A and B are shown apart, each in its own frame.
Chain A
């Protein structure tokens, strides 16, 4: 369950964090009720400002993916009834991020798609892209 942030990406770090956590909650990789790291811990581990993590958490909370319980911490919210739609939305968001990054890097769309397919088939194990793909079927 590793969160990755590319600081050179055109996508802001808070958005990268938000989309990854949204994907993990939608796909069930993060269990309902699971506690998330504190803003301070995640900021220290990623070497980012606390405000960046706070913004990602705030947006996730506004969309109902997570809920904050004060000093008890931040938890993964109960999954929406229409879990499939939520998962699809998460994938669409991830695809949108990928498309933006590919376009800004000037990569040919066909090549980008090919690389995405390779990534989907090469990754394996719990929490990987292929696990998410399989769960979406």
Chain B
């Protein structure tokens, strides 16, 4: 993937539009969520808003969405701004979309890690007598996608290395670079699943069911956001590998099919980010899961 070291006028226009969009998203996210938005979010996660859990949900939405908008915006603008100022390629690549998703992912982790949950002030402590597992908070398909996609990426890197090359095309990126990138993706997947499990294992002190339900919804939202962004980044890597393989191969059918397949995978990546990250409906029903575990 050749990296740009200069921006065209169209590029600057794109950056400007992106900056405006990011700013609008940031301002909207920073505003305290209204009752309608809170109610819609609670409906999506299948619990009832009460006087006790409403402030927690409101605080969570405001903080998380603000950080996510800032992270995605910064990620999107990082490369063009760096290139525009330094006239050198951005060290982390020039895939603006991947960088935006990466920024969103980092922001989601930061939001989850820094979201303070109040411990019971008195000596009486409470907890739900229900087990928690990762599958309660995100579809199993998403968990398996995080495990399998890095292996597919390694397979594609190997394919890139062995596919017959067109001698007239420069080998960019190198086979070694692609192999290292896919190996890093495996490490990334391990780190992501460890983070997801840490979110599930985070203590959940609660004296009433309302608080448990809201806390479960908050966890599910963070885990969905992280999973969606992770799957999207993995798919984007796969798409890049497919397009790269299509560009360097001398096999006609592969040079025709692989780039389109890569584009399709890129579109799927955006869909995964949106639909896994922001489910239309997800109810954390640990009671049912506990009973079905027999």
What's the Cα separation between A45 and B202 when bound, in Å?
Answer: 8
Alpha-carbon distance between A8 and B124 when the two chains are bound, in angstroms: 8
Contact A33 to B206, CB < 8 A, known contacts A2-B127, A2-B129, A41-B201: no
Interface centre among B132, B203, B290 (most CB of A within 10 A): B290
Does B123 interact with chain A (Cβ within 8 Å)?
yes
Task: Please measure, in the bound complex, the distance between the C-alpha atom of A6 and the C-alpha atom of B126, giving whole angstroms.
Answer: 9
Q: Does B204 contact A (CB under 8 A)?
A: yes
Taking A2-B128, A4-B124, A30-B129 as contacts, is the C-beta distance between A40 and B294 under 8 angstroms?
no
Tell whether B140 is near chain A: CB-to-CB under 8 Å.
no
Structural contact, A1 and B125, CB atoms closer than 8 A = no
CA distance A31 to B130 in the complex (A): 12
A83 within 8 A of B: no
Asked if residues B293 and A3 are in contact (CB atoms below 8 Å), the reply is no
A40–B289 alpha-carbon span in the complex (Å): 19
Q: Would you give the 0/1 interface string for B121-161, flagging 1 where the beta carbon is closer than 8 Å to chain A?
A: 00111111111100000000000000000000000000000
Report if B261 contacts A (CB, 8 A). Answer: no
- Residues of B contacting A38 in the complex (Cβ-Cβ under 8 angstroms): 131
- CB-contact partner of B130 in A5, A33, A37, A47, under 8 A: A37
Q: Is B48 an interface position by the 8 A CB rule?
A: no
Q: Is the CB of B128 within 8 A of A1?
A: yes
Contact B129 A47 (CB under 8 A): no
Contact B205 A34 (CB under 8 A): no
Q: Known contacts being A35-B294, A47-B205, is A4 close to B126, with CB within 8 Å?
A: yes
Interchain CB contact under 8 A, A36 and B125:
no
When the two chains form their complex, are residues A47 and B294 in contact, meaning their CB atoms are under 8 A apart?
no
A30–B125 Cα distance when bound, in Å, is 20
Given the known interface contacts A3-B127, A34-B294, the answer about A46 and B205 at a Cβ–Cβ threshold of 8 Å is: yes
CB-based contact A2/B123 at 8 Å: no
Rounded to whole Å, the gap between the CB of A124 and the closest CB of chain B is 13
- Contact code string A27-68 (vs B, CB < 8 Å = 1, else 0): 000111111111011101111100000000000000000000
In the assembled complex, B87 has its CB within 8 A of some CB on chain A: no
Contact A36 B205 (CB under 8 A): no
> Does B212 sit within 8 A of A, measured CB to CB?
yes
Q: Which residues of A contact B205 (CB under 8 A)?
A: 45-47
Question: In the docked arrangement, what's the CA distance between A51 and B127, Å?
Answer: 17
Option from B126, B201, B287 in Cβ contact (under 8 Å) with A2? B126
Q: Which of B185-205 contact A (CB under 8 A)?
A: 201-205
Query: What total of chain A residues lie within 8 Å of the partner, measured CB to CB?
Result: 29
Please, which residue of chain B has its CB at the minimum distance from the CB of A42?
B127
Number of A-B contacts (CB under 8 A): 87
Q: Is the CB of B290 within 8 A of A34?
A: yes
Pair B130/A46 contact, Cβ less than 8 Å: no
Residues of the A chain whose Cβ atoms lie less than 8 Å from the Cβ of B126: 2-5, 46
Q: How far is the CB of B32 from chain A (nearest CB, A)?
A: 29
Q: How far is the CB of A40 from chain B (nearest CB, A)?
A: 7
CA distance A31 to B288 in the complex (A): 11
Choose among B124, B132, B206, B212 the residue that contacts A41 (Cβ–Cβ < 8 A): B132
Q: Decide: B293 and A73 in contact? CB cutoff 8 A.
A: yes
Residues of A within 8 A of B130 (CB): 1, 37
Contact A73:B131 (CB < 8 A) given known A4-B207, A46-B205: yes
Query: In the assembled complex, how far is the CB of residue B202 from the closest CB belonging to chain A, in whole angstroms?
Result: 8
| Interface residue A24 (Cβ < 8 Å from any Cβ of B) | yes
B201 partner residues in chain A, CB cutoff 8 A:
40-41, 44
Q: Which of B226-245 contact A (CB under 8 A)?
A: none
Residues of chain B lying within 8 A (CB to CB) of residue A2 = 126-129, 206-209, 212
B interface with A by C-beta (< 8 Å): 119, 123-132, 201-209, 212, 287, 289-291, 293-294
Residue pairs across A and B with Cβ atoms less than 8 A apart, 9 shown, are A2-B128, A21-B129, A34-B294, A35-B289, A36-B129, A41-B201, A45-B128, A45-B204, A47-B125
